[in-house]
Structure 1
């Protein structure tokens, strides 16, 4: 029922000439929040709870009147780090669910609003029809980057779930370590995409694409 209702709403919006369907706008902003939260947990653990901060924890506890060894201070820091990673894992579950919903929504969207038909149309316009090649090239690059972004999300979801359930997958520890490294590498690629995306939106707002942000909020007009 939750999927059918947005689909019906999207059909209505499409008849009114909406540029972006309601489910895509919802997905866009919730996805932004989840990825931002996930990146924030990584930043917190890499800065506040790394090994270099154990002496700070120890000194603060000593100043508070406690008698603390290096090992005990490390245990406190490690415990706090585990709490943050728990939040990170929950963000990962939310991202996996959201990615699945995005795949489902793709089948319910009008053809003009689906990613692959848009990419195919841009490809044909640039390589086959060879008309308005500058605009077609821009559209091809933008949609190609979005496709790469979705592939990166898929990799993040799969590797994240493998790490979250590593006690049950039976995968060897050295392979799990490689999966973790690859998961972290893809996170940096997603971060790079976000920077490019924000820069592109900023430049478009200053040029001939004014209203991109508001269109992603209210749907825009075709």
Structure 2
């Protein structure tokens, strides 16, 4: 019998791609596709060819440039919500819940790692739900100010995901090279119990 079912492994790698995609869209939004930076650039470059635009017009143009990328953030957010429901379902399978069985017998480090995973699932669930609320705020009867407040918290909690991803990658690398040889290949081929 495999340590990790095919269903769980597919979930893991699709989930990794979605989270990295979400991180990528946020990175682009905050750097290359920042409306603040690009609106200034548009104002300057248009001025050089004798076209004057107001700061508000430049802002609208800059946001329009990044809009297609932001649509990907929304699509990936839907995917994250679906993946979290899938993970909850997987938790009730042997492959999905095995990490949390016999927790009392684990070392302190292993307990902290496993509790960390539960914590990140909670954080990702918050991110998915708050993202959906932000996107559908009008249909939910929320005000624009209410949606903005939720967005502020959404962006703040995002930092936990930003911290977790490199820690997870580093942790897997360390485990692979110390006491859990094959941890990465097990998540590819399923491993053996």
Structure 1 residue 103 displacement after superposition: 1.4
For normalisation by structure 2, the TM-score amounts to 0.89
Give the count of matched residue pairs.
Answer: 191
Mind listing any 5+ residue stretches in structure 2 that lack a counterpart? none
* Structure 2 counterpart SS, 1:167: coil
1:5-60 alpha-carbon deviations (Å, 9 max, x no partner): xxxxxxxxxxx3x1111111111111111111111111111112231321222344
The reply to whether residue 138 of structure 1 matches residue 120 of structure 2 is no
Matched, 1:204 2:175: yes
Of the three residues 73, 92, 103, the one matched with 1:88 is 73
C-alpha deviation, 1:66, in angstroms: 6.9
Q: Which one is further off, 72-81 or 192-201?
A: 72-81
State the distance in 2 between where 1:21 and 1:188 align.
31
User: How far apart, CA to CA, are the structure 2 residues paired with 1:53 and 1:163?
Assistant: 24
RMSD: 2.0
TM-score scaled to structure 1, two decimals?
0.78
Question: Is the CA contact (8 Å cut-off) linking 1:122 and 1:137 kept in structure 2?
Answer: no
Asked which structure has the greater CA Rg, the reply is 1
Aligned mates of 1:206, 1:38 — CA distance in 2: 29
Shift of 1:169: 0.9
1:46 aligns with 2:30: yes
Following TM superposition, the consecutive aligned residue runs of length 4 or more in structure 1 with deviations greater than 3 angstroms are 58-63
Q: Distance in 2 between matches of 1:61 and 1:218?
A: 55
Q: Unaligned stretches of 5+ in structure 1?
A: 1-15, 126-134
CA distance 1:169–1:37, shift in 2 (3 Å): same
Alpha-carbon distance between aligned partners in 1 of 2:99 and 2:190, rounded to the nearest angstrom: 18
User: Which one has more relative contact order, counting CA pairs under 8 Å at least 6 apart?
Assistant: 2
**In the alignment, which residue of structure 1 is the partner of 2:59?**
74
* Distance in 2 of aligned mates of 1:122 and 1:150: 17
